[in-house]
Amino acid sequence: MTAFFAPATYTGVKAAFRRLIAALGGIEAAESYGFAARSLLSNYGNADSPRFPPAHIILDVEAAAGEVFVTEALARAQGYRLEKIETASTASVQPLPAAMRDWCLSQGKSLSAFLAAIADGSVDRAECDMIEASLLEHLRETVEAVRAVRHHREAPSS
């Protein structure tokens, strides 16, 4: 394979991926989102590994982290600079209080599902499915709450 860029450029992309994973809370946090296995995520950031993260992983992890470190590194390598524009996805960020309310409600639902499942002393397959569904919903609410916090932090003060 012909490399178009200096090795430092590729190393920079991998460093950007490591920063992105750190912004998300680390490898374990990224793995918990279901983006990829821990070892694969680690390889994507390893300067000695020939593997790079595919576009769908970059998009998903950047969306969850609220940072575009890898996209910025890729743009810089091509001589471009990113400029944030208001899009439907950023315009639809919930106000912080509403996002935190929804997050708290989903946390309560997850806890209620778990407590209901263990009430009889055992957890069957259907109860596991119910717990998993409530946890996945809570994870979605957590991502929305993080987006709201970051949006609130970046919003101009009145």
Block residue for tokens 């569904």 = 133
Q: How far apart are CA 40 and CA 131, in angstroms?
A: 27
Q: Which tens digits make up the pLDDT trace of 92-147?
A: 677 878 888 888 888 888 898 899 889 999 999 999 988 988 888 888 888 888 88
At 105 the pLDDT is 87
Average predicted confidence (pLDDT) for the chain: 86
Q: Residue 35: how many CB atoms within 10 A of its CB?
A: 20
pTM over 0.75: no
- Specify the pLDDT at position 69: 94
Query: Would you state the pLDDT for residue 45?
Result: 94
